Structure 1
Amino acid sequence: MIFHAKPLHKTLLCILAMSLTACSTPSDVRKDAAFQSYGNAASRPTVRPVRSMSSFSDSLQCMDRLLRDAQVPTTLITSKQIPDYSTRAPVAAKEMVVTALLQMSRLSNAFRYVDYEVDLVRQDTVQNLTNILLNNNQIQLQRPSLYLSGAVSFVDQNVLNNRMDVGTSGSRLETGYSKNRNATVIGLELHLGDFRTRTLIPGMDSANEVVIGNGGQGLDLAGRISEYGWQFNVGKDYAQGSGAAIRTLVELAVIELTGKWARVPYWQCLTMEQTHPNFQRQLRDWYDEGTMGVHQSLVKRSLISKGYMSEASMLETNNVSAFRAALGRFQSDNGMVVTGVVDFNTYERALRDFVSLDMDGNLMRYGWSPTASDPVDMRNSKQVAASSGKSYGKNEGPRSINLQIENVMMGRSQFEVGEQVFVSATVSRASHLACYLSNATGGVIRLIPNPMSNQSQVSANQAIRLPDWMSPNPGYMIETASPGTEGVLCVATDDDVTQRLPEAMRTEAFTPMPGIQGLKDVAKHYTEVLPKGQFTSSTMEWRVAPRRIAEPGKRG
């Protein structure tokens, strides 16, 4: 076979001529159909979404319980826009304030946010409908008691800036190396004001700063080999975003302001280990150094300690669907995006009660037993792997139900005939919930599910009000009928077991159950149809006394 070499410039001219000829005719889009068919799949993200969480996410939950224990009454609150006049941190700070307030009120109902904003420039459907209904006197907005105001006070960029550049030059080789680091300071100031007088409350202020940084390093190489040249460069950079920094400042400020206003020891929720910046970074190191088998074993142990799985299921290595279902329930109860997969966010959330920090922020103790005899240094990931087969003493059980009397004077245990009783039920895990009311004569009715709320599924750590006194039309009331002992029994299960209960207990809500005498009968029937450990129940009772009759000439 004989090849004839052509001059290089002639070859290039031929290629150019062919290109011009091809460009002179329209392209046939049908020939690209197979290529374009990949567009639907390629346009989707390759990484699963994750819940936006900060170092103070657990502190907000802590504040929720603290406000509940302090019996802080429900307060209406709103917020002004939180602007950034530097335009260097363009984030939705007001929406972060709303999210923080709502997360602090899931259990305590301490704050109800009033959406009082009227934006004349950006009108949406809700605002337009609100204006129409307000003008026709068909809607009445409740006036908030408090409001939050403030702004991103400053963004000082590059307050620290270190740079280093070095290089060499030769006839055949040139090299260069560079490294830089800088720091930026962001400040946020929030204040709490009295909405009625539009005055800021003295002492109800918060001014915090956070430092974010970025840095990078690069290497450049260039040289020549004979008549040919080559070059190579590589870089490694990082940048801490302003969005996460603002969220951290907002949540810290909201905790401070609401804690000061409610006069509760809010600092107890700020000294938690999860607020230390090294906490999540250390867990990330362990996650990267370990293997998926170790991660799943540790998460399984955590799920067992929290009651999402049984010890027997731990031994069933092939029961993947049961593990994914338990993991999905755990992720849902902890406010994560449900994936059923052990990613880092799930690993970090499951091990938050597995480790603790020393005074310097280093993770030292491990294990779910709060009375661990000797602290163990966990800086070596091999010790994490070795611990996965151990058994720990702490067991929180499958779930817990917290029943509370929510009258104006909370914690009451005695009422008079004709008084109204307000109760709340909170389940530690997402469950199917049924609640029953027994009067002084032993008659029993079902409160929930009912026609107004026919879904038995409830979320974790969400207070269920019986009745819903926040609603203008609650649908029913609990009113003491006769002297004696009355009470409420709530039962939580993983599945809806209504059809497995006796026919007498499947009557409609608010209808007396024939043949059922007292709450003990209700609990007995659940025990008969469900194996031990498959349901959780909680009972709360109160005494009812005869109504006092006012003496003549005296007010009752």
Structure 2
Amino acid sequence: MSRFTFDRRRRALLLGLPYLLAGCAFPGTGLVGWAKSDAESFAAERQRRTPQPQSRARDGMAAPECFGRLLEVYRRDETVPLYVQSQKISDSTGLSHPLVGAELPTDLTDMLITSVSRIGRKTVYIPNDLDFRKNYTRAGAPLSVRVPKVLIGGSITEFDRAISSTARGADAGVSFGKGKGKSEGSVGEKGAYTISRLTIDLNLADVASNTMVPGVYAANSMKVINETAEGNFDFAIFGNGLGFNSINRYLQGRHDAIRLLVDFSVVQLLGRYLAVPYWRCLPESQADASVIERIERSYLANARSLRVKWIQSTLRDYGYALPQSGVYDAATRAALEATVRSLAIRRPLSLDDGKLFAELYVRIPVSA
């Protein structure tokens, strides 16, 4: 190849550089278009590989709605809903401040209100808005005040950034031109994987007595994944650098994680207060020993006839049309034996066994 031909190709490459770079400046073209496509495919891949917070809800059902279905069964005979109010649920870590990047939301109260409302008609949220009441009262409008039964308080109490982090990288390079640096190329790849942890604490106060409800609380944590993959390629010809760099970042939605934590914590808090098996609505959750113990104690505190009524009422939810007579007759015993056998409960039939009743109670069928 003649020097004239080589120089002409070099000039053509240099003259074409502005057009190549110009193509990078417009969305949908050049490197910007590649980056957009890479980002979308990268996020889709990570979503397939990493369970999203919301995907953990059992059978696709959100926890508050599932809890509402539980209450329709376990509080069927309650005609008055549980009236709930809350204090401001805020960030106690300080990381919601703009000076530190506002990594967390400042106020979670709206999320909590939404969670309580999603449970359904068995729980009713009462707004804690004094200005609203004052304005209506001044205008002469009639306004009845509903007193809440319980008051929810709490906050984001922990945000541990990068409790676990790993990174790896590799690169390689090559040079042409007899060491004169006329043509150089390099390629590299880096990856990082970081796990952070969020914690929310909620507690419950009884409004009438102005005291905290003992043993009723929710303190739940969730891990959030931040994954980064970086690849670069660059090539230099005659000192004029052409480069391509790709950085993909996948961050599980921190705000989605907080919303899910609020949902789970509200369900746990109210489930403990009402002594119902709320864990059936929380994926991968174990039975709550404190709730089961309360069920056992409440059952054993009854006289014999009332214990029989509780068993007859529970067996009704298993499909047995038994009169709630309080008499332990042959029909009641037969229904109890059949239910215990179908659930594979290995306990003797005894009206004095609180654990037997608790096992029957927490496994009452609930429609999906």
State the TM-score bracket (shorter-chain normalisation).
0.5 to 0.7
What is the rounded CA distance, in whole Å, between the counterparts of 1:272 and 1:209 in structure 2? 14
C-alpha distance in 2, partners of 1:195/1:209?
27
SS in 2 for 1:132: helix
Q: 2:148 aligns with which of 144, 148, 153?
A: 144
Aligned partners of 2:245 and 2:282: how far apart in 1? 45
1:77 deviates by 0.9
- 1:259 aligned to which of 253, 271, 279: 271
Per the alignment, residue 252 of structure 2 pairs with 240
Distance 1:215 1:55 in 2: 20
Displacement after TM superposition at 1:133 (Å): 2.8
- Is 1:79–2:86 an aligned residue pair? yes
SS at match of 2:154: strand
2:164 aligned with 1:160: yes
Equivalent runs, 1:414-493 vs 2, <5 Å: none
Percent of aligned pairs sharing the same letter:
22
The answer to whether the 8 A contact 1:165-1:176 is kept is yes
Contact 1:77/1:144, CA 8 A, preserved across alignment: yes
Contiguous gaps of at least 5 residues in structure 1: 1-7, 9-51, 119-126, 274-411, 414-556
Matching residue's letter, 1:101: V
**Equivalence for 2:136:** 133
After superposition, the C-alpha distances for 1:494-550 in whole angstroms (9 at most, x for unaligned) are xxxxxxxxxxxxxxxxxxxxxxxxxxxxxxxxxxxxxxxxxxxxxxxxxxxxxxxxx
Cα distance in 2 between the residues matched to 1:227 and 1:248: 53
SS at match of 2:279: helix
User: Within 2, Cα distance between the matches of 1:110 and 1:177?
Assistant: 55
Once the 2 structures are TM-superposed, how far is the Cα of residue 151 of structure 1 from its aligned partner?
0.4
1:193 to 1:134, Cα distance in 2 relative to 1, 3 A: same
Contact 1:76 1:144 in 2 (8 A): yes
Aligned to 2:181: none
From 49, 55, 58, the counterpart of 2:62:
58
CA distance in 2, matches of 1:244, 1:173: 42
* 2:347 counterpart residue number: none
In structure 2, how many angstroms separate the alpha carbons of the residues matched to 1:63 and 1:272?
A: 15
Distance 1:222 1:114, change over 3 A: same
Q: Taking structure 2 as the reference length, what is the TM-score of the superposition? A: 0.53
Return the alpha-carbon distance in structure 2 between the equivalents of residues 111 and 69 of structure 1: 14
Structure 1 residues 136-535: aligned runs within 5 Å = 136=140, 138-171=142-175, 172-226=184-238, 228-271=240-283
Match for residue 109 of structure 2? Answer: 94
CA distance in 1, matches of 2:168, 2:118: 45
Amino acid across the alignment from 2:217: D
Query: d(CA) in 2 for partners of 1:210 and 1:269?
Result: 17
AA aligned to 1:149 is G
2:225 maps to amino acid: G
Mark the CA change 1:94 to 1:173 in structure 2 (over 3 Å): closer, same or farther: same
Question: Relative to 1, partners in 2 of residues 1:204 and 1:227: Cα closer, same or farther, differing over 3 Å?
Answer: closer
Q: Give the letter for the 2:122 counterpart.
A: A
Shift of 1:173: 1.6
Higher relative contact order (CA 8 A, sep 6+): 2
8 A contact 1:189–1:205 mirrored in 2: yes
For normalisation by structure 1, the TM-score amounts to: 0.36
Describe the shift of the 1:200–1:235 C-alpha distance in structure 2 as closer, same or farther (beyond 3 A).
same
Aligned residue for 1:196, secondary structure, equals: coil
The answer to whether the Cα contact below 8 Å between 1:102 and 1:111 also exists between their aligned partners in 2 is yes
**Equivalent-residue separation in structure 2 for 1:189 and 1:82 (angstroms):** 10
Distance across 1 between alignment mates of 2:280 and 2:236: 65
Structure 1, residues 144-199: CA drift from partner, whole Å, max 9, x if none?
A: 11111100011111111222233234432222221111111000010111122332
Listed one character per residue, the Cα deviations across residues 358-383 of structure 1 (whole Å, up to 9, x for unaligned) are xxxxxxxxxxxxxxxxxxxxxxxxxx
Instruction: Tell me the secondary structure at the aligned position of residue 98 of structure 1.
Output: helix
SS in 1 for 2:90: coil
Task: Measure how far apart 1:55 and its partner are.
Answer: 4.1
CA contact (8 A) 1:223 1:231 kept: yes
CA distance in 2, matches of 1:65, 1:241: 28
Q: Which amino acid aligns with 1:206?
A: A
Q: C-alpha deviations, 1:81-140, integer Å up to 9, x for none?
A: 1111222311642112111211112xxx2111111234xxxxxxxx45x31333557323
Q: Distance in 2 between matches of 1:246 and 1:271?
A: 16
SS of the residue 1:250 aligns to: helix
Distance 1:134 1:227, change over 3 A: closer
Task: Give the deviation of 1:251 after TM superposition.
Answer: 1.0
Once the 2 structures are TM-superposed, how far is the Cα of residue 62 of structure 1 from its aligned partner?
2.3
Task: Give the letter aligned to residue 100 of structure 1.
Answer: S
Matched, 1:112 2:124: yes
- Is the contact between residue 192 and residue 227 of structure 2 (CA under 8 Å) also seen in structure 1? yes
CA-to-aligned-CA distance 1:227-277 (integer Å, 9 cap, x gap): 54321112222011211111111111111111111111222222589xxxx
CA contact 1:59–1:270 (8 Å) conserved in 2: yes
Cα distance in 2 for partners of 1:158, 1:258 equals 32
CA RMSD in angstroms comes to: 2.9
- Give 1:54 shift: 6.3
Give the structure with the higher percent helix: 2
Q: Which amino acid aligns with 2:112?
A: V
1:226 CA displacement: 4.2
Aligned equivalents of 1:58, 1:272: Cα separation in 2: 14
Is the CA contact (8 Å cut-off) linking 2:54 and 2:260 kept in structure 1?
no
Aligned equivalents of 2:141, 2:230: Cα separation in 1:
66
Query: How many residues end up aligned between the 2 structures?
Result: 214
Q: Which amino acid aligns with 2:65?
A: Q
Q: What CA distance in whole angstroms lies between the structure 2 residues aligned with 1:55 and 1:182?
A: 20
